[in-house]
Amino acid sequence: MLTTLLAAVPPTLEWSPKVAIVMVICNILAIAFGKYTMKYPSEGPAMPSPNLFGGFGLPAVLATTSFGHVLGAGVILGLASFGAL
């Protein structure tokens, strides 16, 4: 049973600079999306250097970067399954 289960799992993609670039781009897109869609992006505890974080508060930074990582994981897996990475 275990060998059948292991055979069903596709091989994972190894880290490379291409994978890192895709993840960075997805995080930038998520931060831009959050910047223009959040009603109060500066609410909550402030970040140590607000100008460096685009005026976002801690909750907004955590939310946008979390969304960026979920988006990036999906894009990386999709590109890997198509053979583009």
Phi, psi of 81 (to 5 degrees): -70, -25
Residue 19 included in any domain: no
| 21 in any annotated domain | no
Is residue 10 domain-resident? no
Does 5 or 83 have the greater pLDDT score?
83
pLDDT at 9 over 70: no
* Inter-helix orientation angle 17-37/58-82, to 10°: 140
User: Structure pTM?
Assistant: 0.78
Contact 20, 83 (CB under 8 A): no
Domains: count for the chain: 1
Q: What is the pLDDT of residue 40?
A: 82
pLDDT of residue 7: 73
Question: Tell me: the pLDDT tens digits for 21-72?
Answer: 999 999 999 988 988 888 887 777 877 776 777 778 888 889 999 999 999 9
